[in-house]
Amino acid sequence: MAEYIPPTADWVREQVELYESSGGTQGTTLKDTGMPCIIVTHVGNKTGATRKIPLMRVAVDNSYVLIGSKGGSPENPVWVYNLRANPEVQIRDKTEVFKMRVREVTDDPERARLWDAGAQAYPPYTDYQAKTSRRIPVFIAELA
């Protein structure tokens, strides 16, 4: 197994550590929002190392929508580039863990449908898109 490189931001690292160390029984809501999150384990596109990131839980059918908002900042989060390069991921949703494959969704109407599901699950996504000129990336993680 590849070396694990923890997230650099303290709150992100702490979220991942609590979620993972409890086997998915704690840390399942993002920080103080009370909104459910998942842990996405993926491979770094430059390091080849194992990376983990908490993302909002946006479930659609048997899949998860992953939205690269980074709070509406001008640049994509690093994990977007990792998923583009290495689409095989593992998703922990509380106590369940799934091997999944992601694909970026760029074509409407599928992207619009998945974006709407994301904004319904986590309304700040709409504000984040308004804050930035970039088109926020949308991925779908499907069972491998």
User: Would you state the pLDDT for residue 1?
Assistant: 66
Q: Please report the pLDDT score of residue 2 as a whole number.
A: 87
pLDDT for res 31: 85
Note the pLDDT of residue 33: 86
- Beta strand pairing call for 138-143 and 37-43: unpaired
Cα 25 to chain center, whole Å?
A: 19
Domain range 10-143, its CATH number among 2.30.110.10, 3.40.1710.10, 3.30.310.10, 2.40.10.10: 2.30.110.10
pLDDT, averaged per 10 consecutive residues of the chain (144 residues), comes to 92 96 96 92 97 97 97 97 98 98 97 98 97 98 94
pTM of the complete model: 0.96
